[in-house]
Chain A
């Protein structure tokens, strides 16, 4: 497993990382935990000419209570999201989802920012932050901007991030006591979800997002709207795939994925309603 040749620079701050990526442009890739990028490079499916290592940018690893929301540094490892007391109190759904990422070794290397920036629809954290109505803070040569999670995902492994921008913070609204559930269906514990569901519910309000049900993480707005209008959980869950366009692969056909989504959304909403 030998990747194609590449150059390597290590950034010590976000500013330096952005300056480097501005310099090298689209031939460069950020390397954070490496758990999405390196496997692609080993198979030579990705052949970036320059890796900018941001793994040691320490000032981007934090979880902070910021009043209405929780601010999470982009380089916070999954393990720290999983174990954060602040998140346990204010956004337990995100901690739970982080605990389902890969295995313990992956969770000690992979980062929340890396997972979101990679925009893999099969990853757990993009859909979960989407369900929670998160906002992503990105920084580029001209300064910072905020992007709502709902506007961030553009296609398979494509996001609103410009080539010279870097995701620096994830802002998750406090859940304020909402019921919640994270359902991950897979054949082996370490795998990506065949279908996953992140859901919360507070009286007539609900948020539901789907993992691996299309080319991006999917916000199941029909389900949320149905709940808001007073529909039963099973009637709402039957609409799970309204916004989804699930693919077919070795583990699941489109039809089976849609079926699983409705079963898992129903289970998630039932659990979140307890």
Chain B
């Protein structure tokens, strides 16, 4: 038997079906609310109906009379339960204003949905009924809803702060002092644009759910939560509640989506834990859908001003950006950092000199707090630069693709040190863009457009595109330190070969739909020469996976997956020493292939990993000084972000009579380096693109001037369904990342980043013959119709 005859197909790069799907599709998977917890008390939270009001009095007496109600707590009642306010882990500047934020409001409510009272009852119905029986007297105050109104400080939300401004964060990068102003002065072409990123509701399919289970003795407590971040949650809840960290265990059972909304420490988690300890009984809570629209963080919420300066050839010479960021009523876990994640990407994929002037001012409003939502800062930045490129092309009266080509960072310039000081490790923007153009049949579509978009036509064709770079794989810890982030960006992994040659992978990533169990098993199987089904992946329980920094920012593969590969290397290294000992040769003479060590040149002298694993377990015959068992642990801090990129294009038809937009074709060319499982990559791109299309055409958290959410359920907040979005054609270029051994980059957020500008630029292109140059998001039929009316009326004057 020779090794080559027995060589299995490579596992990495195959479209292995997700092992997660059968339990999810058959209902076997257990979500937090599926857990059967005998004796659990049910928590319900009374929420403020006012965006801004003083609490004059709270009368809970009628609620306490309802059968099954155990207790009702107000914010004042629980003041002593908190060792610290709710955490914000990202104080972006030394003077950032951060109002104290507690799980229940104490004497003032600051958004519709702010918690006012907590009911505990023996059953869910009684706790829900009790909410209707609590009598709160409010004194309504003027609500601050609009960002520019907030900036004016006419009405101050947190009086003690003296201002609505949380922080101003500048980033000025100049080759020589004053060169930005100089570039604008000298510029042949200039554009100055304003864009609004509407607030979005992340709307995970599973709303949040929590169960806190205290142990009867010893003070230990287990928190089950539908969260993306069991590890961070453990640290943060221990600090906020003043519990020794080793007494807290956090478990994330099956989690039905997060998109950033479950990357947070929430009031209800703290309430469940505090009340479980107080009553020495399990306490559980599950969010209602309408409650989810108010009590779970929202995303986006920015006003962007961007200016480009360009020379006579359209080469961009300077970029100036001013942002107003909507923090909402309080700072949640990473709220203030979200706009800054985009700060480095306002130059997009373009070769721009050190002439960059960025400033973000973030303000409080009487609205639900914002925080990270799929892409977090990067979709906003990409939208602004891509829309501004289109504006510049219009100004220059040249094709926008041609303008992009003049400005793309060229393939031979990589690794490319950007003006920001960050190094883009790899890329080939022209290749991705040309591939997208070919797949779109750009030449054919343009010809068709000429025929179709004649005066008087009511069905107008348009093509849109967006090229993006994404800064993900969060993140090198030192870079995070330079941004004032309170934690690191490493990830931990343990790989253990059991005596029977089955493998356990323990990861600090915390999947909630991404298919980590499948992908991580594939990595370990490929490295160790075992079948993927022989690899079990353990995660999302701090008692099993003690170390980790969880899942967000497209970090799981380029940080957590690479950590697993490194741990496999360590296992192989140790196994090699044992093999050398048992085969009586030098370790240097051994090669490892397909799960077997053999002496180079004499393949008959071989020892399979299975034998070594068993030998490591019996420990009968190990080299001197070698510890029993075959296991290795790694904590991996990435040397750089990962930099996926690509170009998306789409073709739309706009019905100018109704304003309806139909996407006829959507092409996504993404480069995430090497792919572990292309099936999963495709799924991530599809989901991301749909969320980007949703921002472009469908979704918006609409508030009235009193701060009431008008789109507070799924009939009003328009999450598109499968039949409302086009078929998506995906393709890839493969530029392996040079900074990790797998050559991988994150892909979780890329689709979202590419899609919104692609769709909006297509609509503007379709309507360009009518004089349309702007389009607000979401481009609802009414918005499109109004924009056409404004443009054509303007044209007549």
Contacts and interface: CB of A to CB of B under 8 A. Distances in A.
A47 to B, nearest CB: 10
A185 B780 CA distance: 12
A250 B702 contact: yes
B292 to A, nearest CB: 11
B658 A260 contact: yes
Interface stretch (A57-65, A80-88, A165-173, A188-196): A188-196
A187 interface: yes
Nearest to B290: A43
A187 B658 contact: no
B782 A251 contact: yes
Interface string B30-72: 0000000000000000000000000000000000000000000
Contacts of B395: none
A191 B125 CA distance: 30
Query: Is the contact region of chain A dominated by helix, strand, or loop, or is it mixed?
Result: loop
B182 interface: no
Contacts of A5: 125, 129
Contacts of B697: 187
B386 to A, nearest CB: 24
A256 interface: yes
Interface in A174-195: 185, 187-192, 194
Contact of A251 (B124, B720, B780): B780
B698 A187 contact: yes
A189 B724 CA distance: 7
B781 interface: yes
Contact of B785 (A4, A188, A259, A264): A259
Contact of A190 (B128, B657, B713, B721): B721
A190 B724 CA distance: 9
Interface residues of A, number: 24
Nearest to A192: B715
A252 interface: yes
Contacts, number: 52
B658 A188 contact: no
Contact of B124 (A2, A4, A188, A259): A2
B716 interface: yes
Interface in A1-29: 1-2, 4-5
A194 B660 CA distance: 12
B785 A256 contact: yes
A144 interface: no
B782 A252 contact: yes
A49 interface: no
B658 A1 contact: no
Contacts of A44: 132
Interface in A25-43: 43
Contact of A263 (B125, B658, B724, B786): B658
A242 to B, nearest CB: 20
Most buried by B among A1, A192, A253: A1
Contact of A185 (B132, B658, B702, B718): B658
Contacts of A194: 781
B186 interface: no
A188 B289 CA distance: 19
Contact of A189 (B124, B128, B723, B780): B723
B793 interface: no
A188 B782 contact: no
A2 B781 contact: no
A253 B789 CA distance: 14
A189 B658 contact: no
Nearest to B778: A187
Contacts of B289: 1
Contacts of A2: 124-125, 128-129
A188 B780 contact: no
Nearest to A266: B657
B288 A187 contact: no
B628 to A, nearest CB: 55
Interface of A: 1-2, 4-5, 43-44, 103, 185, 187-192, 194, 250-253, 256, 259-260, 263-264
30 contacts: A2-B125, A2-B128, A2-B129, A4-B129, A5-B129, A43-B290, A43-B713, A103-B721, A185-B658, A185-B660, A185-B781, A187-B697, A187-B724, A187-B780, A188-B698, A188-B721, A189-B721, A190-B721, A191-B715, A194-B781, A250-B710, A250-B711, A251-B780, A251-B782, A252-B782, A253-B782, A256-B782, A256-B785, A256-B786, A259-B785
* Top 6 A-B residue pairs of the complex, sorted by shortest distance between their CB atoms: A2-B128, A263-B657, A189-B723, A188-B724, A256-B782, A1-B288
Given A5-B125, A251-B780, 13 more contacts: A1-B289, A2-B128, A43-B713, A103-B721, A187-B724, A187-B780, A187-B781, A189-B721, A190-B721, A194-B781, A251-B782, A253-B782, A256-B785
